[in-house]
């Protein structure tokens, strides 16, 4: 039987019998790891929030027909080609006209009995009404039914108007342009909206500068319906659309997507031009970037300060164990075994501290996240964070032990023991 006190036994005995030092190191590792894990969860929540915000800022670019003598409409082929580009989420156009609505041959009137315009509605043709500026800006909100898109035709109107005429989803109305003799087009009620913004809300009225139309008198129809309504007035090919808004899934990628559209499509850019609409993203991007920088800086600072602190503590610990190292070397223990013992000791402490830090950070991260304006339930410490921190932590600790041991290991055992005596 081998009775030798090998490095493993020495490491365990030191960890157990020098329990005050062990406890100090354990508490330090627990504290630091908990902070780093929480920081990573906050950073992830921040990134998630940024991504989410980038997706909902309504960042878009508009392809416009050139404002020259030979106005070329935006064709369906062009729209399909651009919509197929990666990162383009949806598209819409703003095709507006004045319409009359008929319910069972009765000319419908708005909810407000206004002079001149009481029986006129402001009709918008949409590829996807969800991306209409009025819905995007929050001026209007769909309360029932669905949005109208290509393939999902219908009409969306104000819920108060539907109530006035006893209409509900699925009922059929007839719609026509404002002039006598224009064709009547049948359409089914697909959705109802409520008005959120008031008439004075400047941002909400960005769709059109008209101020005398009430939002309650807006209706939205799919592009096929709009084409049928506008047929007498559309001489050119397609729908006579002169501009289309393309919405991107990530506002941060808007510029590169626009470049791709300009460089990698068959569109003749002498007849069209692009305008970029990312005001909302521009407004929030600097604050998003500031918060991200703050969180990242804090995590880096915590990690760096922690590592410096641990290296200092290990330096002091190694210094106080210089004599022990000298003795071990003098009695013939190899340098690598002395180093491995030190590494093993810190790993034993880390094995206990890291899982506990994981559990602690799962409890704490949410609370810490609220300090950075994050919802507690969005700040989640994941097993991936734990694996990453454990791997990086063990690596850094081993480096710290090596760095701390270098000065002692470079000395001859006699020099170490002489210094100690």
Partner 1 sequence: MSIMEVKNVGYTYDNRRKVLRGINVQMEQGKLYAILGPSGCGKTTLLSLIGGLDSPTSGQILFEDQDIAKTGLSDHRKNHVSFIFQAYNLIDYLNPKENVALTSKLPPLPILERLGLTKEEAKRNVLKLSGGQQQRVAIARALASEAPVILADEPTGNLDEDTARDITEILKESAHKMNKCVVVVTHSNELAKQADVICRLKRGELQVLDRISDTPKARNGRRGR
CA atoms within 13 A on the CB side of 246: 26
Closer CB to partner 1, residue 387 or residue 415?
415
Q: What is the dihedral of CA 126, 132, 133, 135, to 10 degrees?
A: 150
E strand spans, 286-389: none
Backbone angles phi, psi at 77, to 5 degrees: -65, -40
Q: Are 303 and 96 in contact (CB under 8 A)?
A: no
DSSP code of 377? G
Closer CB to partner 1, residue 15 or residue 390?
15
Q: CB of 298: closest distance to partner 1 in angstroms?
A: 39
Backbone angles phi, psi at 67, to 5 degrees: -85, 50
Closer CB to partner 1, residue 261 or residue 349?
349
List the interface residues with partner 1, window 354-413 (CB under 8 A).
Answer: 412-413
- Please state, in angstroms and as integers, the Cα–Cα distance from residue 248 to each residue in 61, 82, 92, 129, 252, following that order: 8, 11, 12, 16, 9
Q: CB of 15: closest distance to partner 1 in angstroms?
A: 9
Stretch near partner 1 under the rule CB under 8 A, chosen from 63-71, 81-89, 106-114, 323-331: 323-331
Q: Are 143 and 159 in contact (CB under 8 A)?
A: yes
CA 103 to CA 184: how far, in whole Å? 12
List the interface residues with partner 1, window 179-198 (CB under 8 A).
Answer: none
Which tokens belong to 254? Answer: 């808007």
CA 366 to CA 361: how far, in whole Å? 9
Q: CB of 19: closest distance to partner 1 in angstroms?
A: 10
Contacts of 78 (CB under 8 A, 6+ apart): 63, 244, 265, 267, 272
Closer CB to partner 1, residue 235 or residue 331?
331
Stretch near partner 1 under the rule CB under 8 A, chosen from 82-90, 205-213, 274-282, 318-326: 318-326
Q: Are 139 and 195 in contact (CB under 8 A)?
A: yes
Q: CB of 338: closest distance to partner 1 in angstroms?
A: 11
Q: Does 5 bind partner 1 (CB under 8 A)?
A: yes
Encoded one letter per residue, x for contact with partner 1 by CB under 8 A and - for no contact, window 6-45 reads ---xx--xx--xx---------------------------
Stretch near partner 1 under the rule CB under 8 A, chosen from 251-259, 280-288, 328-336, 388-396: 328-336
Exposed/middle/buried for residue 70 (C-beta within 10 Å: 0-12, 13-18, 19+): exposed
Stretch near partner 1 under the rule CB under 8 A, chosen from 3-11, 98-106, 156-164, 399-407: 3-11
Which tokens belong to 206? Answer: 């960005």
Closer CB to partner 1, residue 179 or residue 418?
418
Q: CB of 1: closest distance to partner 1 in angstroms?
A: 8
Which residue of 75, 284, 323, 396 would you call a contact of partner 1, by CB under 8 A? 323
Which residue of 2, 70, 211, 286 would you call a contact of partner 1, by CB under 8 A? 2
Total of chain residues touching partner 1, rule CB under 8 A: 29
CA 357 to CA 398: how far, in whole Å? 19
Which residue of 257, 295, 329, 360 would you call a contact of partner 1, by CB under 8 A? 329
Closer CB to partner 1, residue 11 or residue 254?
11
Q: Does 344 bind partner 1 (CB under 8 A)?
A: no
Closer CB to partner 1, residue 333 or residue 402?
333
Residue 412 region by backbone torsions, left for phi larger than 0, else alpha for psi between -120 and 50, else beta: beta
Which residue of 68, 166, 332, 383 would you call a contact of partner 1, by CB under 8 A? 332
Strand partners, 275: 62
Closer CB to partner 1, residue 155 or residue 338?
338
The residue assigned the tokens 């490491």 is: 11
E strand spans, 259-323: 272-277
Closer CB to partner 1, residue 320 or residue 384?
320
Q: CB of 17: closest distance to partner 1 in angstroms?
A: 4
Which residue of 84, 235, 331, 371 would you call a contact of partner 1, by CB under 8 A? 331
CA 15 to CA 321: how far, in whole Å? 13
Closer CB to partner 1, residue 85 or residue 411?
411
Question: Terminal CA-to-CA distance of the chain, rounded, Å?
Answer: 36
Sites of contact with partner 1 (CB under 8 A): 1-5, 9-10, 13-14, 17-18, 323-324, 326-335, 412-415, 417, 421
């Amino acid at each position: 039987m081998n009775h030798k006190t090998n490095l493993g036994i020495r490491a365990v005995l030191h960890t157990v019998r020098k329990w005050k030092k062990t406890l100090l190191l354990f508490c330090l590792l627990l504290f630091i790891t908990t902070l780093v894990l929480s920081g990573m969860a906050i950073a992830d929540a921040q990134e998630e929030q940024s991504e989410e915000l980038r997706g909902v800022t309504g960042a878009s670019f508009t392809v416009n027909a050139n404002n020259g003598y030979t106005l070329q409409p935006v064709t369906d082929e062009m729209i399909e080609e651009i919509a197929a580009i990666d990162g383009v989420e949806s598209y819409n156009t703003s095709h507006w006209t004045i319409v009359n609505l008929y319910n069972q041959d009765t000319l419908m009137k708005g909810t407000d009995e206004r002079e001149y315009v009481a029986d006129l509605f402001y009709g918008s043709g949409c590829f996807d009404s969800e991306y209409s500026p009025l819905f995007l800006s929050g001026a209007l909100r769909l309360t029932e039914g669905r949005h109208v898109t290509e393939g999902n035709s219908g009409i969306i109107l104000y819920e108060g108007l539907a109530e006035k005429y006893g209409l509900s989803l699925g009922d059929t109305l007839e719609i026509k342009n404002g002039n006598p003799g224009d064709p009547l087009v049948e359409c089914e009620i697909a959705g109802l909206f409520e008005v959120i913004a008031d008439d004075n809300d400047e941002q909400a009225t960005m769709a059109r500068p008209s101020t005398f139309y009430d939002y309650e008198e807006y209706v939205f129809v799919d592009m096929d319906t709009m084409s049928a309504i506008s047929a007498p007035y559309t001489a050119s090919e397609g729908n006579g659309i002169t501009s289309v808004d393309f919405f991107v899934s990530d506002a941060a990628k808007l510029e590169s997507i626009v470049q791709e559209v300009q460089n990698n499509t068959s569109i003749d850019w002498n007849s069209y031009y692009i305008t970029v609409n990312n005001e909302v993203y521009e407004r929030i991007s600097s604050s998003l970037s500031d918060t991200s920088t703050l969180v990242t800086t804090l995590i880096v600072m915590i990690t760096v300060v922690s590592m410096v602190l641990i290296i200092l503590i290990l330096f002091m610990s190694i210094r106080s164990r210089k004599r022990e190292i000298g003795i071990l070397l003098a009695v013939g223990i190899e340098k690598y075994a002395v180093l491995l013992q030190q590494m093993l000791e810190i790993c034993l402490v880390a094995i206990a501290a890291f899982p506990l830090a994981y559990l602690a950070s799962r409890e704490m991260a949410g609370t810490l996240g609220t300090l950075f304006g994050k919802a507690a339930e969005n700040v989640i410490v994941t097993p991936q964070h734990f694996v990453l921190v454990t791997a990086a932590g063990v690596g850094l600790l081993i480096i710290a032990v090596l760095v701390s041991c270098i000065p002692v290991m470079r000395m001859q055992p006699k020099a170490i023991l002489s210094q100690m005596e």
